[in-house]
Structure 1
Amino acid sequence: MRWSEQMVEASDGALPGLDRAGLVRSVQTPEFEGVTFHEVLCKSILNKVPENSTLPFRFTVNTFRGCTHACRYCFARPTHEYLELDAGADFDSQVVVKLNAAAVLRKELRRRSWHRDVVALGTNTDPYQRAEGRYRLMPGVIGALTQAYTPMSILTKGTLLRRDLPLLRQAAGEVPVDISISLAFTAADEASRALQKRIEPGTPSAAARLDLIRAVADAGFAPHIMVAPVIPYLTDGVAVLDSLLGELADAGAAGVTAFPMHLRGATKDWFLSWVAEEHPALLKRYRSLYGRGAYVNAEYSRWLRERMGPLVAKHGLAGAAREREAPARPVVAEPELAGALTLF
């Protein structure tokens, strides 16, 4: 069924934030039951990272706002409040699609002020969430960056990335292309598989993402894996982490970076409401661990580093120094880096 036949009325004043964002139409389809896609024409697409940031990139591009991955812990949830939507269910079901992302990006990259800095794709919401299969925004974005000789990095949980591997191989012949995949659950453990389905219900399975890692490696890339977020008390067991790192090494991962879950703004209440339903015995411990803010305390961060270090060494996943002058990625990221690198 054509999406043009699935339009819903969106001009009734219920979405004032979206009206400001350049709303063209809102669309529902049986393929995405319960989800409304708000198609917009954006005025800009390149987002500049603050000068004082320690991140290894200075610009980002996000083709969507909101994400059908529906990860309970997603740090980007509060950004939906800027659109006068809520950070909980609306983030999962009211997805903004930037229809003209590639055209606007090409225009911005033609500016004389553009210095071909690295552009990170997928720092806020996943560029390869399921809707990308319908909208096909990424081929145009990749093409625009390649034509402008602009290095790019991609972070995703989405197996749709496989579709664009031939295009990315072509791009890599012109500019540096860095591919990272997020996976913090092991395919071998039944409890881990069940947890993944409950806490990030819209994402591909761990097994599917391991297959993606193999495909990325076979395509000639060195896939870096974000073991992220490590969820305290649920995914930080040594046996689970050991199993996961073994799977990643076997799949061809070049290195890993891990960091503990952080709960910024409205994400904290959304996640804790899930804990209260699914793991009520842990609720008090989470309130204590995150009682002072969005991040775990220094003691837990240190504990995670001490746990991850030997396992990363055991499986040969320490990785190598980044190209050019960039430093090697840390095994366990510091809070500021973790807060900006995770999509989800």
Structure 2
Amino acid sequence: MDAVDDRPLIERRAVWRDGFYETQARTMIERVPREAGITQRWAVSPYRGCAHACLGCGARAGHRKLGLDTGRDFDTRVVVKANAVERLRAELGRWAGEPLAVGVTGDCYQRAEEVYRLMPGIIGALGEAAVPFTVYTKSPLVLRDAALLAQAGAQVAVSIAFVDERIRRAVEPGAVGAQARLELVSALVEAGVACRVLMSPVLPLLSDAADQLAATVRRIAATGAVGVEPVVLRLPPATRAWYLAWLGAAHPPLVARYEELYDRAGSPSADYEGRITGQIEQLCRLYGLRCGPPEPVARRPRFPQLALV
């Protein structure tokens, strides 16, 4: 009788190299999970898992399909789609041009990008195909590709949900601090890249006080960002267990209040979400920022139009 291979699925399909699971992707353009809270319906993600280790990351469920856990494994066992650029180019040849998000299942500028450098090829492929796209990141490494992003007409959404470093160290331990991200937004704007801030995730009872929201929007306004898109924390099942385990250890009295606030799917109550986004909208008006999802970007011509002489 043949021995049963009980290794996690990813270990049977990938090569462990330089601290990452290196695999060959079957497809690159994937549907965005509803719990991601972003406007695009489709995404391109060269990495799965994220060293930023954000407790509230809604992408954690993907690791369960690989036979890994959605907690520590998601933070430390990052999957690299080594053929991402070649696979994406093939799929873009038949893509209808709908806008794409880049970096949904893991930050596309996390440490793995320093090793694999997949993003310049991805930006180039999207730019050549004239597909509107938005890069989602917390990492200053994105500045390396600022010229490519500007040339491709990309948007960058930098996540800055709060400016309290105590909270950041607790819930986003692998990411750079808020000040570094604010400086990143300014640098991208100066480099000619359209940049907005994803104010996500606003954490109930931790980062949602009126003075906290005001301080965050005020400092975002000073960066030159084109707008703010607020998103209240989502807790889909795979994320909920990990986040609430931390909350129970760090802030035990809040667990019961979270249980009341969130439904079984992980969405906050509509009343609470409306109140928080309403406060942020008022603050944005005060500081002259556009609030809400970005305006639709028209698809650019794939080839320059010839001038009529």
Q: Give the TM-score taking structure 2 as reference length.
A: 0.88
**What is the count of residue pairs matched by the alignment?**
294
1:121 aligns with 2:113: no
Aligned-pair distance for 1:94?
1.0
Question: Contact (CA 8 Å) 1:121, 1:154: kept in 2 or not?
Answer: yes
Q: Which amino acid aligns with 1:101?
A: A
Q: CA–CA distance in 1 between the matches of 2:5 and 2:117?
A: 29
Q: CA–CA distance in 2 between the matches of 1:310 and 1:151?
A: 29
1:308 aligns with 2:280: yes
Question: Contact (CA 8 Å) 2:150, 2:194: kept in 1 or not?
Answer: no
The counterpart of 2:86, out of the listed 103, 108, 125, is 103
Question: Contact (CA 8 Å) 1:130, 1:158: kept in 2 or not?
Answer: no
Aligned-pair distance for 1:57?
3.5
Q: Give the TM-score taking structure 1 as reference length.
A: 0.79
Q: CA–CA distance in 1 between the matches of 2:146 and 2:206?
A: 33
Q: CA–CA distance in 2 between the matches of 1:197 and 1:212?
A: 18
- SS of equivalent residue, structure 2 residue 272: helix
Aligned match of 2:119: 138
Aligned-pair distance for 1:139?
0.6
1:27 aligns with 2:17: yes
- Structure 2: stretches of 5+ with no match in the other structure: 300-309
Aligned match of 1:18: 10
The counterpart of 2:241, out of the listed 252, 269, 283, is 269
The counterpart of 2:158, out of the listed 170, 173, 181, is 181
Aligned residues: percent identity?
A: 38
Aligned-pair distance for 1:167?
1.2
The counterpart of 1:165, out of the listed 127, 146, 153, is 146
Question: Contact (CA 8 Å) 2:44, 2:102: kept in 1 or not?
Answer: yes
Aligned-pair distance for 1:221?
2.7
Q: CA–CA distance in 1 between the matches of 2:298 and 2:86?
A: 31
Aligned-pair distance for 1:152?
1.6
Aligned match of 1:210: 182
Q: CA–CA distance in 2 between the matches of 1:308 and 1:231?
A: 13
Aligned-pair distance for 1:151?
2.1
Aligned match of 1:6: none
Aligned match of 2:261: 289
Aligned-pair distance for 1:59?
2.7
The counterpart of 2:131, out of the listed 146, 150, 153, is 150
Q: CA–CA distance in 2 between the matches of 1:279 and 1:98?
A: 37
CA offsets, 1:77-108, max 9 Å, x none? 11110011111111111110011100111122
Question: Contact (CA 8 Å) 2:263, 2:269: kept in 1 or not?
Answer: no
1:74 aligns with 2:51: no
- After TM superposition, the structure 1 stretch with the greater mean CA deviation from structure 2, 244-253 or 144-153, is 144-153
Q: Which amino acid aligns with 1:166?
A: A
Q: Which amino acid aligns with 1:237?
A: A
Query: How has the CA–CA distance of structure 1 residues 109 and 211 changed in structure 2, closer, same or farther, with 3 Å as cutoff?
Result: same
Q: Which amino acid aligns with 2:17?
A: V
1:240 aligns with 2:212: yes
Q: CA–CA distance in 2 between the matches of 1:231 and 1:55?
A: 17
Aligned-pair distance for 1:288?
1.7
Aligned-pair distance for 1:276?
1.0
Q: CA–CA distance in 2 between the matches of 1:235 and 1:76?
A: 21
Q: Which amino acid aligns with 1:27?
A: R
Aligned match of 1:223: 195
- SS of equivalent residue, structure 1 residue 223: strand
Aligned-pair distance for 1:261?
0.6
- SS of equivalent residue, structure 1 residue 296: coil
Q: CA–CA distance in 2 between the matches of 1:116 and 1:218?
A: 28
- Structure 1: stretches of 5+ with no match in the other structure: 1-11, 29-35, 187-191, 327-344
Q: Which amino acid aligns with 2:257?
A: R
Aligned match of 1:38: 21
Query: How has the CA–CA distance of structure 1 residues 132 and 282 changed in structure 2, closer, same or farther, with 3 Å as cutoff?
Result: same
